[in-house]
Amino acid sequence: MQIENSFAVKAPPDRVYEFLLDVNNVVSCVPGAELSEVVDPNTFKGKVRIKVGPVTVSYNGTARITSRDTDTRTATLEAEGRETTGSGTAQATTIMAVAADGDSSKVTLTTDFTVVGRIAQFGRGIMEDVSRHLVGQAAECIQSKLEGPPSSPAPATDASAPNNSSSTAAPGTPAPSPAPASSEPASLDALALGRAVARERLGRINVRPQMIAAAFAGLISLLLLRRVRRSRRRRREANG
């Protein structure tokens, strides 16, 4: 299943691209995401929680940046995860592209994913709604951090003090704890879920009006044929 999402950020594209390639920045803006370990500069381990109506699913997994091109401001991310309390799995490949759009930047995310398990019971329409909600919430966070002048460098601190910087941790070390807001799962509320279910079901029966019309026409033809045959039979009986 492939889903495309996009959003705009009022910031230079190079700055947006650099921000999105820092895993700590992304995790801090994605609801339900937690970073647990930085394996190397391109490989990360973590957890993500997704809630669709009454169903909440948590995945433990690994994400890798498999390619990046600073000239075109594109990157490819591959991720795979397994449910923490079930046998379900998820795999996804996302192509990220950042392009100049006037005085802003347009971020496009094209994701091809496969889901097996409880979350797979929901159709494409509902999965698209979950994806839009997730990207929309992340976009608001990214916009709040980038739509303004770059922050001034932090003042020097005592080397013995704890380091709470959001920069990527050294490879092979545990990742810093995510911001509290990121612990909330990406969710689709009951009203949005109801609308998504309705759209999904309507999409599945969009051929029914034509089927009903064809069946109705066939029934009318059958009734007319029966009347013609009955009329002919009566004429034969009258002439006999």
* Number of Cα atoms under 13 Å in the Cβ half of residue 44: 26
Residues 28 and 77 in one domain: yes
Q: How many beta carbons lie within 10 A of that of residue 104, not counting itself? A: 17
CATH number at residue 53: 3.30.530.20
pLDDT of 179 reads 41
Tally of domains within the chain: 2
Token pair belonging to 156: 């020097």
Asked, for residue 162, whether it belongs to a domain, the answer is no
Residues 104 and 126 in one domain: yes
Per-10-residue mean pLDDT for the chain, 240 residues long?
Answer: 93 96 92 92 92 84 96 96 91 96 95 86 79 90 86 49 44 48 50 52 52 62 75 78
Asked, for residue 178, whether it belongs to a domain, the answer is yes
Residues 231 and 139 in one domain: no
Residues 35 and 75 in one domain: yes
Q: Which amino acid is at 88?
A: G
Residues 182 and 235 in one domain: no
169 close to 39: Cβ distance less than 8 angstroms = no
pTM, rounded to two decimals: 0.65
Residues 137 and 31 in one domain: yes
96 close to 20: Cβ distance less than 8 angstroms = yes
Please report where in the chains the tokens 């007319």 appear, as a residue.
224
Asked, for residue 158, whether it belongs to a domain, the answer is no
Residues 145 and 223 in one domain: no
pLDDT of 52 reads 77
The enclosing H or E element of 65 equals: strand 55-69
CA-nearest of 232, 55, 38, 31 to 136 is 31
Asked, for residue 160, whether it belongs to a domain, the answer is no
Asked, for residue 155, whether it belongs to a domain, the answer is no
pLDDT of 195 reads 52
* Rounded-to-integer distance, Cα 234 and Cα 24, Å: 87
Asked, for residue 154, whether it belongs to a domain, the answer is no
Asked, for residue 187, whether it belongs to a domain, the answer is yes
Residues 216 and 134 in one domain: no
* Axis-axis angle for helices 13-20, 124-146 (nearest 10): 120
Using DSSP, state whether 149 is helix, strand or coil. Answer: coil
Owning domain of residue 226: 211-239
Residues 231 and 185 in one domain: no
pLDDT of 68 reads 96
